[in-house]
Amino acid sequence: MCCQTFMCSLSLSLSQTLSNSLSLSQTLSQTLKLSLSQTLKLSLKLSNSLSLKLSNSLSLKLSNSQTLSLSPFAAGGAGTGRMFYLIGLGLSDEKDITARGLEIVKRCDEVFLEAYTAILMVNSDKLEAFYGRPVTVADRELVEQQCEERLLLPAKEKDIALLVVGDPFAATTHTDLVTRCKSLGVPCQAVHNASIMNAIGCCGLQLYNFGRTVSIVFFTEQWRPDSFYAKMKANKDMGLHTLCLVDIKVKEQSIENLIKGRKIFEPPRYMTVNQCAKQLLEVEEKYGEGVCGPDSLAVGVARVGCTDQRIVFGTLSELVTVDFGPPLHSLVVIGETDEIEREVLDMYKIDDSTPRVAEEPDDLDVHCT
């Protein structure tokens, strides 16, 4: 209950109390034939009695309100002018936002779109048209280096929303924002949505059979990190599947431009299933423990949640040749499977009709429209 509504209710309740006590005292005075002074005394006593009951009732309402205020929504919230929201957008397009998330977006003072840990299949223009309000694209620099002055501190005075592809807590970046809110005394609330972490079940593998998720970054001549291999081996030893989240590069700078301090950014790049499989095979050749070799079974997915999503099951060496189309891509190296998992995987088994790439692409350089 907002303050204005509460005060109106309080005023009405007090008015009703006085009216009720006066009416009752007049009835009794007529019945008992009391004098004017006796009638007024009786009215006062009745008023005090009714006010006590009203006070108890209002105290109960206030107590409930205070209990609700432990929730960030009650402490602030869209329309009250002091809340930072992390709102999940889901995986596909502008319509994947939840009804609750959309309601908050429409009422917030400022709305930002985090655009570097993942991408939607539509651009910010379509989001603005659907939401009916402007959306500011937030790059890595804004979210990680300017977050306090641009996002968090303003949320002490107004409602700020940061839109996140997938679920808000699928990336550690957003968890860091929550801890910053806590230290700054900024009310914060998350609105959840689907992410690749749970939607990967579309390939037929049971979510409770997955082990630790790993990230596969683009290899360079100077940097070829392979710490993921030990985690994949631990999963394999337990018979668990490994979800590989592949790298994306959005508004990144080259080493030369970083050194020279030039604000020149590289074109967006999105790792493909093909490139991920090639890098896994390279690391397997280095360690040779049978974790992700040419014959290891895997399933590649692209654009999960979209109408044109693609799922292909095969060996890692086979997946290198498959054309998965536009981003985003992910890959799962399969552990032990049960009968139901195998039945669903067979639906996506690579065959002669599976589209193939003319060459093995290292990444995709595309812009979503």
pLDDT score recorded for residue 203: 98
Of 169, 193, 217, which residue constitutes the final position of a domain?
A: 193
| Mean pLDDT of each 10-residue bin along the chain, 369 residues long | 43 46 52 52 51 40 34 47 93 96 97 90 93 93 91 96 95 90 96 97 98 97 95 99 94 76 84 98 98 98 97 99 97 98 98 88 49
Q: How far is CA 271 from CA 24, 216, 355, 365, in A?
A: 80, 9, 18, 9
- 95 and 28 together in one domain: no
Query: Which residue segment(s) compose the domain that 136 sits in?
Result: 79-193
Q: Which residues contact 31 (CB under 8 A, 6 or more apart)?
A: none
* pLDDT at position 263: 78
Report pLDDT for 250: 80
Could you tell me which residues come within 8 angstroms of residue 128 by beta carbon, excluding any fewer than 6 positions away?
134, 135
* Cα–chain center distance at 102: 13
21, 48, 68 — which closes off a domain? 68
User: Residue 70 is encoded by which pair of tokens?
Assistant: 């432990």
- The predicted pLDDT at position 245 comes to 97
Dihedral sign, Cα of residue 354, residue 360, residue 362, residue 366: negative
Q: Do residue 225 and residue 351 come from a single domain?
A: yes
Under 8 Å between Cβ of 129 and 232: no
pLDDT at 12: 40
Residues 91 and 227 in one domain: no
Query: What's the pLDDT score for residue 56?
Result: 43
* Number of domains into which the chain is organized: 3
What single-letter DSSP state applies at residue 354? S
* pTM attached to this predicted model: 0.75
**Residue appearing with tokens 């995987």:** 345
User: Does a structural domain hold residue 369?
Assistant: no
Tell me, what's the pLDDT at 34?
Answer: 52
- State whether 358 and 246 are in the same domain: yes
Residues 269 and 206 in one domain: yes
- For position 223, what pLDDT does the model report? 92
Last residue of a domain, one of 136, 166, 193: 193
Burial (0-12, 13-18, 19+ Cβ within 10 Å), 226? middle
- Asked if residue 236 and residue 179 are part of one domain, the reply reads no
Asked whether residue 73 is domain-assigned, the answer is no
Same structural domain, 112 and 33: no
Predicted pLDDT of residue 17: 45
Diameter over CA atoms, the chain: 107
